[in-house]
Structure 1
Amino acid sequence: MTTTPILLTSPDDVLGAVPYLLGFHPADSLVVIAFAGRGARGRLRVTTRWDLPIPPGELDRLVPLLKQEEVTHTVLAGFGGGALVTPAIDQAMRLLADAGVTVIEALRAEGGRYWSYVCTRVECCPPEGRAYDPVAGEVAVQAAYDGLVALPDREALRGLVTPTTGAVREKMREATRSVAARLRAEFAAMADPLEIPGAFVAEGLARVRASPHTFRDSGALSDAEAARLGIDLCVIRIRDEVWALMQDDELDAHVGLWSDLTRRLEPAFVPPVASLLAAAAWRRGDSALAGIAVERALEADASYSMANLLAQGLRQLVNPEILRRRMPTSAELDAGMGPPRIEWLQPMLALIDDHALPPA
């Protein structure tokens, strides 16, 4: 989680850590922090959050996840009023007890105070609750020092995928139309149309392999570069190259690049980049951002298969490592799909026809 391990030894520590584990300060939420191992040797395995109230049966998915992660003990933290939090805490404690998972603490936090469902000692857990500081506490300070960010709320997180507007949007729209027109002219000028798929895919693969490094080293792409990359990724073979080659030490660059393009690209080109953002965020352990990115992809195209696959994995609390292990290599993609074919390009060709500038 951080460059310096953080030890959680008190309710104040837990509540101070939650916003940095999630990436935002939660409200009306149940958070489950799960550990494997015993005592001080226990290691964080997974943190998951549920909106309150939780629909009937929804929390049943928690136990299979914890068994999969070999969890031995948990901390529960509910954020909001007692009428919302208490039923969810009670249900979670029953499920965990039946599964043999120890609940070492269960808390409710509201208005800068917290209450324990486990501790019954008035001297440390008075009826009026105990005050805590979610911003200036020791754990929060350490997390911020280590470079972690906790946004004010989930809506602020959604801002990472909100489309740009105004002059920025107009410039991107014009760049898209210009790049689309240029590509259409290049295709028309090729002596042998059968060469188009191979040339386009080869150039696109080279571009997407380099793009995370370019973004990391140079910052945001130009409008024209962004538009061309968005067009490249309409071809599934090119998109899958990015998905297959994501490395753990490059995830921050991937999150930054695909977040930027999710905001800037024209709506028709958003599903691939928003899905890649979701995949990178999920791999990085940021399931909240992954979920918001999936929502953005499905808003643009409810049938987009990669987004639907990721949405299902997030709903089922699948460990992203499972998907990572099943991703083919670049060579396996080539072997499985064969040489580039014109039908690979049909969705992309339709989009550039829709977006190209009219002939002069």
Structure 2
Amino acid sequence: MTSDDHSTAPGPPAPLTLRLRTPDDLLATVPVVLGFEPRDSLVLLSFGADGRAQPDGSAGRGATGPHLRIGLPGPDDPPAALAEVVEAAVAPCRRHGVASVAAVVYTADPRLGAAAAARVEASCAAAGITVLALLRADGRRWYDAGDAAGGEGGAAPYRNESHPVRAAAVLHGRVVLGSREELADLLAPADEEVRGPLAAAVARRGSPLPGPAESRWVGDTVTRAACTGAPLGVEEAARLVVAVRLGRHRDAAWAGVGRAEASRHVDLWLDLVRRAPDGWRAGPAALAALTAWLDGSGALAWCAVDVCLEEEPGHPLGVLVRDFLEAAAPPSWWEEVTAALGDPA
């Protein structure tokens, strides 16, 4: 069972406001929000978190709660698995005081879709959450999710690729991939001819340089690289990969990064995760997770957390971002966290 808690839509510099008026609008919006086309999943888009806004058909910033995707149980999972999936999806909405949700069950199995829909309706009703829409989609057509027979007569075709929402997303620089696996591939190790020189440079360095001067170098280098968008050379990349193993230097790497700058930092850390040798990927992956979460890319943040904690299960920053994602925490929380931590420099 996999989940992708996706907090509210990314902030400046390019806010994207999407209005959901029809089932086609909803189906086109989901992959834009997640960053990929979901399959065999339950997705909830939520509105009116903590009573700050009432649902008005808008999915714009300030009108949403957490958006969540969680994998549906497979045929070999126990009967209780579906209830666990629905509870995992609805619990963050309940915790954040969500007013209403729009739900899509992505499955070709009409009976599974109907069972999931019934549990979503019951769970939301018990929490006082209004269900604005509840659909089942199989990748080609959408249905009333409660139709366990799955009759073709009640189906309607949809094409996300040609929907205006997808065009708006492209204009705002949003990339939609074909699956979560394609998203995870963004963190896959590069070919050996790319990783080899960096591995050799990392081996020559061995351990991080101590002291505040190295922290300042990390902060300056990260800021410059994020602004230019150019990949770091081998020696600088090796020095940075080694440095962020040390907590003080890792803190310097995220210091001053807010939602407005996060997307540029995501690209930097994704590049280093792919180029870093085994045993050195956890630090860059944790920073990729943090900046992806700040950018509103919850699914990508989960993929980066997986890479980080697979290599180093107790990594402090990886665990922190995992906890944020599990709580469906909005990126705005980071301002409170950094205010409490103070300036790491």
Q: Which band: TM-score by shorter chain?
A: 0.7 to 0.9
C-alpha distance in 2, partners of 1:301/1:48? 26
Structure 1 position 46 matched with structure 2 position 93: no
Q: Summarize the alignment of residues 1-360 of structure 1 with structure 2, pairs less than 5 Å apart.
A: 1=9, 3=15, 5-36=17-48, 37-40=54-57, 43-53=63-73, 56-81=83-108, 82-117=110-145, 127-180=153-206, 197-198=210-211, 201-328=212-339, 332-333=343-344
Unaligned residue ranges in structure 1 (runs of 5+): 120-124, 185-195, 335-360
CA contact (8 A) 2:141 2:156 kept: yes
C-alpha distance in 2, partners of 1:74/1:44? 9
CA contact (8 A) 2:258 2:294 kept: no
1:4 to partner: Cα distance = 5.1
Compute the RMSD of aligned alpha carbons: 2.6
Q: How many correspondences in the alignment?
A: 314
Letter in 2 for 1:170: G
Report Cα offsets for 1:9-40 as digits up to 9, x if no partner: 10001101111110001100111011121334
1:255 to partner: Cα distance = 0.5
The alpha-carbon distance between structure 1 residues 95 and 272, as it changes in their structure 2 partners (threshold 3 A), is same
State, as a whole percentage, how many aligned pairs show the same letter: 28
1:236 to partner: Cα distance = 0.5
The alpha-carbon distance between structure 1 residues 331 and 301, as it changes in their structure 2 partners (threshold 3 A), is closer
C-alpha distance in 1, partners of 2:155/2:302? 33
Partner of 2:332, secondary structure, is helix
C-alpha distance in 1, partners of 2:25/2:36? 16
Q: Structure 2 length as normaliser, TM-score?
A: 0.82
Partner of 2:280, secondary structure, is helix
CA contact (8 A) 1:105 1:117 kept: no
The alpha-carbon distance between structure 1 residues 157 and 323, as it changes in their structure 2 partners (threshold 3 A), is same
1:70 to partner: Cα distance = 3.7
Q: Structure 1 length as normaliser, TM-score?
A: 0.79
CA contact (8 A) 2:225 2:268 kept: no
CA contact (8 A) 2:70 2:89 kept: no
CA contact (8 A) 1:212 1:253 kept: no
1:311 to partner: Cα distance = 2.1
Larger radius of gyration: 1
C-alpha distance in 2, partners of 1:102/1:118? 16
C-alpha distance in 2, partners of 1:208/1:247? 14
CA contact (8 A) 2:66 2:329 kept: no
Query: Per chain length, whose mean CA-contact separation is higher, i.e. which structure has more relative contact order (CA < 8 Å, sep 6+)?
Result: 2
Letter in 1 for 2:179: D
C-alpha distance in 1, partners of 2:136/2:214? 54
- Look up the match of 2:6: none
Task: Report the structure, 1 or 2, having the larger helix content.
Answer: 1
CA contact (8 A) 1:213 1:253 kept: no
CA contact (8 A) 2:47 2:98 kept: yes
CA contact (8 A) 1:74 1:104 kept: yes
Report Cα offsets for 1:266-320 as digits up to 9, x if no partner: 1222111101111111121111001100110112112323222322332233334
Greater displacement, 138-147 / 69-78: 138-147
1:323 to partner: Cα distance = 4.4
Unaligned residue ranges in structure 2 (runs of 5+): 1-8, 49-53, 74-80
Report Cα offsets for 1:44-95 as digits up to 9, x if no partner: 3321101012554343344442244442211101111224333222211111
